[in-house]
Chain A
């Protein structure tokens, strides 16, 4: 009797595990060649009059860090109302182009994070450079990923880290309090950061209907539906307002 129950439990367990694995694999992104892909072009605009970016106070290691004036990048709005440093992405794409080749690098240069937002494929290696020749201490804040809290003295030119879960990860330096950056940990390559005019472009998108999302650290998130024609172009405009 017990042997029979034991056998049933084992069979059910294996079946459940196989179902779970298949389910996970069904949602995993498949990257490859995209035939006759379309392009999504657009702009992210600010609603209203944006405040001028604050000047950051550099109060440490001034010989390296105070060579240029530093402005906050949490809300940068161009002359035409375009929002810089917003992250635009497709939320529901399961197959498309492959991730680009090459290393993912985050640099600490002039006591700023360069780039301000780094797109990092989930599970991939992030190379964290120290171009300043002084001590930095990278400290990340996230909900789904383990935090990184590592000192990087001048002799450690590059350290490595990886993040397994897609999310926006805040990056700070424990030595230089004004330093701020972001990592966009992503599970597919359809992510882009708006330029100084708030403009963006997502190319090689397989034809179809998608949900497109924008994230901006001060203004929050917004989503829209977009239909991408094969070989054609779709246009999207986001308008974000300050949170009340």
Chain B
């Protein structure tokens, strides 16, 4: 239906895409209707010799109508999206892997807790711009910012979360397909914003285990 959307490799990506497409078509149809009406009025009520302007106080029924109708649509969309919001933002399922993201101008510092699964210990590993995760596992991200507001955005996961200085913000995802995917910054953070790009590498279980063994044997 919308072939230009990025590939979806996230367990909740389908829910987000459904809402996106619904909102897209509602707004597309309304947009078309408004533009057609605008052009029709431009032609129909164009200045003509002998035609004078009419002073009108409007139409109360019409105004009530075009206030209530969009409001009802918004309420409908809010109710419809509540469960997806809760799933993506409010509730984190049982976690398999936790990783910290420390965003800074202009790179992502990804911190892995190591075999002891605790942050702030000797076996922590920090990699710049490289997020390695296993496929089909719930990954929790603890998001921080070292300086200004950034936004950790992984299009194929339908994951986007602002990172704020002075705050820890948590998010989660479960990737459904192996591969290498982009992590751009989605909040203007300075002159280097456009160059702020990391990579997500989703690995098979075996490949992930090999990566862990290799990294922590050094």
> Smallest CB-CB separation from A135: which chain B residue?
B195
How far does the Cβ of A56 sit from chain B's closest Cβ, in whole Å?
A: 11
Interface residue? B70 (CB, 8 A): no
Given contacts A135-B192, A151-B192, contact A177 B105 (CB under 8 A): no
Given contacts A135-B192, A153-B191, contact A59 B130 (CB under 8 A): yes
**What 1/0 flags go to B124-144 for Cβ under 8 Å of A?**
000011100000000000000
- Tell whether, in the assembled complex, residue B192 and residue A59 are in contact, meaning their CB atoms are under 8 Å apart: no
CB distance from B132 to the nearest CB of A (A): 13
Please give, as numbers and ranges, the residues of chain A lying within 8 Å of B105 by CB-CB distance. Answer: 137, 174
Q: Is A175 an interface residue (CB 8 A)?
A: yes
**What does DSSP make chain A's interface, helix, strand, loop or mixed?**
loop
Check A137–B128 contact: CB distance below 8 A.
Answer: no
Asked if residues A175 and B129 are in contact (CB atoms below 8 Å), the reply is: no
Q: How far is the CA of A177 from the CA of B127 in the complex (A)?
A: 10
A175-B107 in contact (CB<8A): yes
**B106 and A175 form a contact (CB under 8 A):** yes
CA A54 to CA B107, docked complex, whole Å: 21
Return chain A residues, CB-CB under 8 Å to B179. none
Chain A nearest CB: distance from B58 CB in Å? 51
Q: Is the CB of A151 within 8 A of B197?
A: no
In whole Å, how far is A54's beta carbon from the nearest beta carbon of chain B? Answer: 11
Mark each residue of chain B from 165 to 194: 1 if its CB lies under 8 Å from any CB of chain A, else 0: 000000000000000000000000011101
| A57→B129 CA distance, assembly (Å) | 11
Query: Please, how many angstroms separate the alpha-carbon atoms of A174 and B129 in the complex?
Result: 13
Interface size on A, residues (CB 8 A): 12
Closest to B109 in A: A177
B129 to chain A, nearest CB (A): 5
- Write 17 A-B pairs (CB below 8 A) sorted by A numbering: A59-B128, A60-B107, A60-B129, A60-B197, A61-B195, A134-B195, A135-B195, A137-B105, A137-B190, A151-B191, A174-B104, A174-B105, A174-B106, A174-B107, A174-B192, A175-B192, A177-B128
Q: Which residues of B sit under 8 angstroms from A153, Cβ to Cβ?
A: 191
Instruction: List A contacts of B104 (CB < 8 A).
Output: 174
> Given known contacts A137-B106, A175-B106, A177-B107, what 19 new A-B pairs fall within 8 Å (CB)?
A57-B128, A59-B128, A59-B129, A60-B195, A61-B195, A135-B191, A135-B194, A135-B195, A137-B105, A137-B191, A151-B191, A151-B192, A153-B191, A174-B104, A174-B105, A174-B106, A174-B107, A174-B192, A177-B128
Candidate in B107, B129, B130, B197 with the most chain A CB atoms within 10 angstroms: B107
A127–chain B nearest beta-carbon distance, Å: 19
Chain A positions within 8 Å of B195 at CB level: 60-61, 134-135, 175
- CB-CB contacts of A45-76 with B at 8 A, as 1s and 0s? 00000000000010111000000000000000
**CB-nearest residue of chain B relative to A178?**
B128
**B100-115: contact bitstring with A at CB < 8 Å (1 yes, 0 no)?**
0000111100000000
Kindly report which residue of chain B lies nearest to residue A134, judged by CB atoms. B195
Per CB-CB distance, the 8 closest pairs between chain A and chain B, nearest first, are A151-B191, A135-B195, A177-B128, A137-B192, A174-B105, A175-B192, A175-B106, A174-B106
